[in-house]
Structure 1
Amino acid sequence: MDARLSDAFCGQMIQAASSRDTPSILRQAAVAYLASFVARGANVPRESVREIFSLLIAHMDEYQRRHESICRGPDLRRFFFYYSLVQAAMYIFCFRWQDLVESAPEFVDPEDPASYLGHELDWTGSIRQGLSVHIFGKFNPLKVCAPVIVEEFAKLAHRLRFMYVYPLVESNKRLRLTQYMNTYATGGALRDAGNETSDESSLQLDPFFPFDPYQLPVSKRWLEGDYLHWRAVRGLNEDEEDDDSDNMDDDEELENFDEGTATDSDGD
């Protein structure tokens, strides 16, 4: 892929996502296209991955400064664009975390992702601290972002010693999103969570990433060498103290993650 075209595409998506004059739904779409391109583009250089990841965090910071004072808790309808930014960052991390590692112990083999697991790594810039502020912040994005992406991010972040989010994930299971729906959507009052159904999927962000996975039978040949397929990290699902973990194996994880973020299509 021509580097100039790649840079131009990313630039257009960043411009669309950054403009407050652009409708929110189009800004979210631009973020999704940008994240999907960076995650799936096999020839997107490491420097671009780092720059765009840091840029997403910078946009989160700006959004947080402007809106945190009115945030009572997780609310997709009110803070839609913010959750799109966080989900995009987690998604890119799942695919391109190796490009975000600044340095690793000398015994780590760059050709073997599994060799990184369980070791202290130096991450580029201040991305660990920067993203952590938002993951554990008042907006509580792990409750709103797509569960399939949150689950994969939680596993990778833990085993790579990037971030430990499982206590928050568990506490979120006892949290009802209907408690935080804004007054405009609820007719002026908080809803009684006890009267709501258990399915809150409509109040969570859709895992929309337009290049996920690219399975069109005719045109996919044009992407050979340019498209990065999802690869599960060997041993990621093994318990650190028990190799006989009951978690799903790597092949099942690969299928579930790709299907969970797939774009619906019946063919070319």
Structure 2
Amino acid sequence: MGRVSGTEKQEFTEMEDTEFTDSQLICHVRDALLAVTLGDRENYDELVGYLHRKESLNPDQIALLETTLKALSGTVSCIDSVHHESLLSAVYRMSLWNYGTSIMDALVELIVSLAASNGKYIDWSLEMLVNNFTPPYHLMDSLKQESGIEKKNKVLSRVHAAFEAIAVLVPLAPLRLSPIVVQRMPLTYSKGPEILMYVENMLKLESGAIGEIVGVTMLPAIVDRLIELDVEIGWDGLLQEDAKGIFEMELEDAEFADADGDDNLPAAEYLNRKSLEGNTIAEKLDSLIELTFLHLESCQSSGRLSEVFDVLVRSFQRTILNAYKSKFTQFVVFYACALDPEDCGEKFAMVLTEMFLSNVNPSNTRMSAVAYLASYLSRAKFVSGALVASILQRLVDWCLNYCKSHDSVMNPRAHQVFYSGCQALMYLLCFRMRSLMDAPRLKMQLLNMPMEPILQHKLNPLKVCLPTVVVEFLRQAKSAKLFMTSESFAFDDMLESDLSRAFGGIDRLDMFFPFDPCLLKKSESYIRPHFARWSKIKCDGADDGEFSESGSDASDDEFADMNENDMIEDDMTVSIQAGLDFNPDLNRMSITPKNKSLLHFQQQNARMPARIRPSTSPESL
């Protein structure tokens, strides 16, 4: 029953005496709507007035509003977009967040009825629901309270139930919903809670009943927004130029607690993370990546991570791979791989490998792909030694075939892809050589790879690739007796050469190691268990060809008992003294000159830093 009171002329404004059945009320509303077409707007204008929100509604006003909405649901066939524009506008501006559950339900019923009544109201209805992804600004702070969280759950559960109801009544509606959601995403400069809530709803759509249709759009759109935030994090707030060494050095004797005192961080990582504190863009990006990580975990739990990963990889290829100065967004893919190493982890490695090997792809894309490949295989603890060896073999074979078909002299510009492949080989072995040499079968496979003809070819990759990578690779190769003629590789005059600095052109992909340690605090906590950090490689004895881990108590027998998967070390050791045999500057594995601001710190420690890692300097991006 609907209850309204007063004279016939004012039947919508009083609620005291007269009661109407639902059918009678619908008739009165229909008459008001039809009267507009005849020039009589009095009852219609009063009807519209009930829909405009007041600061507070008393019980009678709440009952009248609910009754009006229900009556409108029964007369949607009489609503005309031309004659009743003010009515539609008033409904459109209504927010579920401002009302109790009874009005919420009546409003959602009206929206669904409008969508099903006429095709021209589908977009209008979907947009109105999308507007409710986030609350009005005056209610934003209430989300920090328990009552606000309860309100949020009530609103959003109704919004997504409405999407599903409309999809049942109008099967093509989800296809119309996807572009609306993407187009109405908050901009990068919007408030953090707003964009977080919006993305949360996008992820809920992706995993919901209509996710099969809209899911292929939601994740790529989120990745695009992550990239936009990522590139906005300027390196101005980070250490650069005269402080580049901070990005490349993990000092053995300089560990600091993070802001919460939970982790001991190397000096470089501590200072870089510290420099991002208070950066609202970085904090927003960190929270969004964490939200995406949690969604990936739920996908794994529900058994749908593989299909979601396929969408994510396509988005990576389209957006992340060639994004200039992407710093952290790529860890979304990394974490998905960590959640499912056997499927996603291997699939990602193979996608990158095929992208590099395919001549169809542009040179820059192939160079980016192999940089990602080398960095991924170097940093991912969960990647098996067998997969690393298999991909190394394919890279070596490609580089060897390239040498055979190019009987030309060294030219960084003309052979960028080749030099990228060579550097990827050396960089990867800087991290993985020990684990491969410790597994007998993989050691034999590695020793049989024809790398010497590549490194000694007239194209001379040792003179073009990044000197610090070349130095570390050759030092380890010598200790492992990887080459019969490793002593013949003379390169003292190649360090920091003009050719090396020019390689890769303006994008400096020669210095791009995309999976260097993540500096975002929340995101890094998810990545940490799966991430291999660089530390020292100690090559004991120039002639014994054996590795040992500095400061480790592990015996040779213990290493011999490890299986190939266990051979993936996240701590590798480097002897500074061994590097001095080549060049006095080889106490680092840096891309750029050492940070002068650390000089005082080093002097106080009374010895040279031994813990180092490849660069995350601005030039590397």
Go from structure 1 to structure 2 and tell me whether the alpha carbon gap of 1:246 and 1:52 turns closer, same or farther (over 3 Å shift): closer
1:92 aligned partner: 428
1:220 and 1:103 map into 2 onto residues whose CA distance is 30
Q: How does 1:32-43 map to 2 (within 5 A)?
A: 32-43=371-382
Go from structure 1 to structure 2 and tell me whether the alpha carbon gap of 1:42 and 1:234 turns closer, same or farther (over 3 Å shift): same
Equivalent position to 2:395, from 40, 56, 66: 56
Go from structure 1 to structure 2 and tell me whether the alpha carbon gap of 1:212 and 1:238 turns closer, same or farther (over 3 Å shift): same
1:180 aligned partner: none
How far 1:247 moved relative to its partner?
Answer: 6.9
1:142 aligned partner: 462
Counting aligned pairs with the same residue, the percent is 27
Question: Bigger shift: 214-223 or 80-89?
Answer: 214-223
How far 1:62 moved relative to its partner?
Answer: 2.2
How far 1:142 moved relative to its partner?
Answer: 0.6
Asked if structure 1 preserves the Cα contact closer than 8 Å seen for 2:447 and 2:482, the reply is no
Asked if structure 2 preserves the Cα contact closer than 8 Å seen for 1:210 and 1:263, the reply is no
How far 1:129 moved relative to its partner?
Answer: 5.0
1:122 and 1:167 map into 2 onto residues whose CA distance is 25
Equivalent position to 1:10, from 317, 324, 349: 349
AA of the residue aligned to 1:91: Y
Write out per-residue CA displacement over residues 86-107 of structure 1, whole angstroms, 9 at most, x where no aligned residue. 1111111110112322657xxx
Question: Bigger shift: 164-173 or 135-144?
Answer: 164-173
Q: Report the 3-state secondary structure (helix = DSSP H, G, I; strand = E; otherwise coil) of the residue aligned with 1:252.
A: coil
2:438 and 2:399 map into 1 onto residues whose CA distance is 22
1:239 and 1:11 map into 2 onto residues whose CA distance is 35
Go from structure 1 to structure 2 and tell me whether the alpha carbon gap of 1:77 and 1:157 turns closer, same or farther (over 3 Å shift): same
2:415 aligned partner: 79
Write out per-residue CA displacement over residues 98-151 of structure 1, whole angstroms, 9 at most, x where no aligned residue. 2322657xxxxxxxxxxxxxxxx9833254551111111111101000011011
1:93 and 1:58 map into 2 onto residues whose CA distance is 16
1:133 aligned partner: 453
Write out per-residue CA displacement over residues 213-249 of structure 1, whole angstroms, 9 at most, x where no aligned residue. 3333331111121110002123533459x9xx99749
Higher helix share: 2
1:161 aligned partner: 481
Q: How does 1:1-268 map to 2 (within 5 A)?
A: 1=338, 2-3=340-341, 4-67=343-406, 69=407, 71-72=408-409, 74-101=410-437, 123-125=443-445, 127=447, 129-163=449-483, 165=486, 167-170=488-491, 172-173=493-494, 199-204=498-503, 206-234=510-538, 236-238=575-577, 248=587, 252-255=609-612, 258=613, 260-262=614-616, 264=618
2:455 and 2:500 map into 1 onto residues whose CA distance is 20
1:251 and 1:215 map into 2 onto residues whose CA distance is 25
Higher relative contact order (CA 8 A, sep 6+): 1
Asked if structure 1 preserves the Cα contact closer than 8 Å seen for 2:381 and 2:532, the reply is yes
Go from structure 1 to structure 2 and tell me whether the alpha carbon gap of 1:210 and 1:166 turns closer, same or farther (over 3 Å shift): farther
AA of the residue aligned to 1:79: H
Asked if structure 1 preserves the Cα contact closer than 8 Å seen for 2:396 and 2:449, the reply is no
2:532 and 2:618 map into 1 onto residues whose CA distance is 19
Go from structure 1 to structure 2 and tell me whether the alpha carbon gap of 1:247 and 1:24 turns closer, same or farther (over 3 Å shift): closer
Go from structure 1 to structure 2 and tell me whether the alpha carbon gap of 1:218 and 1:131 turns closer, same or farther (over 3 Å shift): same
Q: Report the 3-state secondary structure (helix = DSSP H, G, I; strand = E; otherwise coil) of the residue aligned with 2:366.
A: helix
AA of the residue aligned to 2:515: F
Q: In structure 2, list runs of 5 or more residues that go unmatched.
A: 1-337, 505-509, 540-574, 589-606
Write out per-residue CA displacement over residues 51-84 of structure 1, whole angstroms, 9 at most, x where no aligned residue. 01111101112212322x2x12x21101111111
Asked if structure 2 preserves the Cα contact closer than 8 Å seen for 1:6 and 1:44, the reply is yes
Q: In structure 1, list runs of 5 or more residues that go unmatched.
A: 105-120, 178-197
Asked if structure 2 preserves the Cα contact closer than 8 Å seen for 1:57 and 1:130, the reply is yes
1:264 and 1:171 map into 2 onto residues whose CA distance is 26
Q: Report the 3-state secondary structure (helix = DSSP H, G, I; strand = E; otherwise coil) of the residue aligned with 1:38.
A: helix
AA of the residue aligned to 1:83: Y
Go from structure 1 to structure 2 and tell me whether the alpha carbon gap of 1:61 and 1:199 turns closer, same or farther (over 3 Å shift): closer
Question: Bigger shift: 125-134 or 89-98?
Answer: 125-134
Q: Normalized against structure 1, the TM-score is what?
A: 0.70
How far 1:253 moved relative to its partner?
Answer: 4.0
How many residue pairs match? The answer is 218
How far 1:210 moved relative to its partner?
Answer: 0.6
How far 1:212 moved relative to its partner?
Answer: 1.7
2:396 and 2:465 map into 1 onto residues whose CA distance is 16
How far 1:211 moved relative to its partner?
Answer: 0.6
2:521 and 2:376 map into 1 onto residues whose CA distance is 20
Go from structure 1 to structure 2 and tell me whether the alpha carbon gap of 1:146 and 1:248 turns closer, same or farther (over 3 Å shift): closer
2:284 aligned partner: none
Question: Bigger shift: 36-45 or 212-221?
Answer: 212-221
Asked if structure 2 preserves the Cα contact closer than 8 Å seen for 1:39 and 1:95, the reply is yes
AA of the residue aligned to 1:97: M
Go from structure 1 to structure 2 and tell me whether the alpha carbon gap of 1:83 and 1:247 turns closer, same or farther (over 3 Å shift): closer
2:444 and 2:587 map into 1 onto residues whose CA distance is 31
Q: Report the 3-state secondary structure (helix = DSSP H, G, I; strand = E; otherwise coil) of the residue aligned with 1:124.
A: helix
